[in-house]
Chains A and B, each alone.
Chain A
Amino acid sequence: MSAPAALEIRGLKKSFGPAEIIRGVDLVVPKGERHAVIGPNGAGKSTLFNLISGLLVPTSGEVVLNGARISGRPAFEINRRGLSRSFQVTNIFPRMSVFENIRCGVLWSANQKYAFWRGVQSAAGVAERTEKVLDEIGLTDRREVLAGVLTYAEQRALEIGITVAGGAEVILLDEPTAGMSRHETDRAVGLIRRISEGRTLMIVEHDMGVVFGLADRISVLVYGEIVATGPPAEIRASAKVKEAYLGEEAHA
């Protein structure tokens, strides 16, 4: 136990009014792990991501990033500390070009901050980094198009692009392949594999093919609690998981 884990969640709880949605989550994600979170609709997966990324403040418990407590900190500060997330519902800058969208993801990490005294063109490394991300997500040809008029699959790719543009060490992806065709999903999985190389990834995903192909470990979240965590083979074999979750899938 030398280096701290990338992400450590301790006794995390969140209530909306009387409804307790996250009911005590404990989870340790070591550096470099690809960790999938699965669970039925409404289990609280997105809420968990919202708590980690600072969109929501936990009712109790804490989230620790690389040994430093981040829960309760504002979202932009958590992002600056190296945790970046994507959204289940596409969340981009619609009336800006694809290029601009990605560049917005690059600027802070390139130490541009709120600079209004120098041109964005002259900022060292920003254009190169933006180009590289555009290339990675396969949108180089679409760079001048307004993000709002991209196809759905392109917008999902852009969503991932914005998320990874700043080079965060810990990446959270919320259902990146939802609503995609088989072919588009395969491309997206390739992309996720590439961008998560050498980083820590947490991914919420309903597509079991994607989950079992990608994840080093899987956590099963049911009704606000993690009922099992383990490598894919173990999760697949677990009777508890089958009953709580995979069983439901089989019925559907």
Chain B
Amino acid sequence: MKAMTGTRGLVLNEPFLWEQGARGRTCFSMPRRDVDPCPLKDELVGQGPDFPDLSEVDLVRHYTRLSTWNFGVDTGMYPLGSCTMKYNPKINEKMASLPGFAGAHPLLPAELCQGVLKLMYDLEKYLAEITGLPAVTLQPAAGAHGELTGMLIFHAFFKARNQQRSKILIPDTAHGTNPASAALCGFKSIPVASNDQGVLAPEEVAELMDEETAGIMITNPNTLGLFEDNIKKIAGIVHAKGGLVYADGANMNAIMGIVDMSKSGVDILHLNLHKTFATPHGGGGPGSGPVCVTKNLEKFLPVPRVIHQNGDYTLTYDCPESIGKLHAFYGNFGVQIKAYSYILSMGAELKKASQLAVLNANYIKEELKSVFHLPYDRACMHECVFTDKFQKPYKVTTLDIAKRLMDYGFHPPTIYFPLVVHGALMIEPTETESKTSIDLFIAALKAIAKEARESPELLHEAPRNPKMRRLDETIAARKPCLAG
């Protein structure tokens, strides 16, 4: 076996910002004062916030040290299921920071911002091509924001028909944002159980779908990493009752160039540019969650829309049936630039990316299914879901396995999700991991499975290599301390 990457190194401690510095230090090159002081009225003036004064070196050391306590995709394999932690190309970072983009004011007259409008227009076009759904808005700032946009469109669609529908079908494998987004629009979630194959059965949907139900929110491929192969039939059932089909496209990385969402019967779909389209996740965001819809639903998309007329690009607010606006301006444009650069760099090879993502996941599934319990033993898409059932006899849990992976130098998979699988370990390698790194990951998990049998305390005590040992989440929640 090749040497594992996980090891210990010199890690430096670092106090809080406000435990450092000295009044009068500065890290800011103050612009020249070329006008006279003009004091504000005393009654308006406050104390000013109690911030520390730091030097430039103080600040640089602080954040450099903090950064070394983190694990990113650039550090190593990050097989966090449902999150598509693929490599984030460096060139895209440069593109987003070009002065013409980074310095652009959002309210510039159209004639002064043709560059960004063309970029947005073309990105919409590319996303339409990739999904098969012809009309696109880039405004949602993340996946859940896209879901909200979709649910607002559901609401507007029924309102326009003078119908109030109160329910929505949501599979039990769905991400928590799905029911939460539906609830914001007043829809009560009706859970739909997946069948013993891990997918939705049309009969189950037919049973629940009625004219009080606005439609269905379905993740495809679903969070078990399986393609919902009855999608077309299910869409037929939902449409027959006047409902709409929303697809959570967080897992689009499995099917680019292969599936046509429109042909599958989907009316509305959101994408996560910070997953499928290689934009970095930033330790929590910013993301971008464009929404793609059928021609019929285009009129409901948020304003403004980018239009192209006589060679000029403009933003139009003249959309009387639009649901309105979800963001002050046009969403996370800086993220859109990175996704656009990625699409231009990949072209039709996006299909190859999906194929290799699926290949990597199936390879891992086959290699590991003898040591970890695989609840749905069938071909998977871009991710595979195991459980801790085989490790139970040794009192080893999914959490222990995840923590032990850190010692070996890997980011753990997503754990305890989807909820329908007890003790889930959801592994999404993505296409940018080579066979070499995947083989090492497999070797690490096999070694961990062996440890679970032979010396489970190694797992219970994990992790040992990172800066911190396991953290007490109960105390954090019981006695919240959210600011220093």
- A and B bound? no
B interface residues (Cβ-Cβ under 8 A, vs A): none
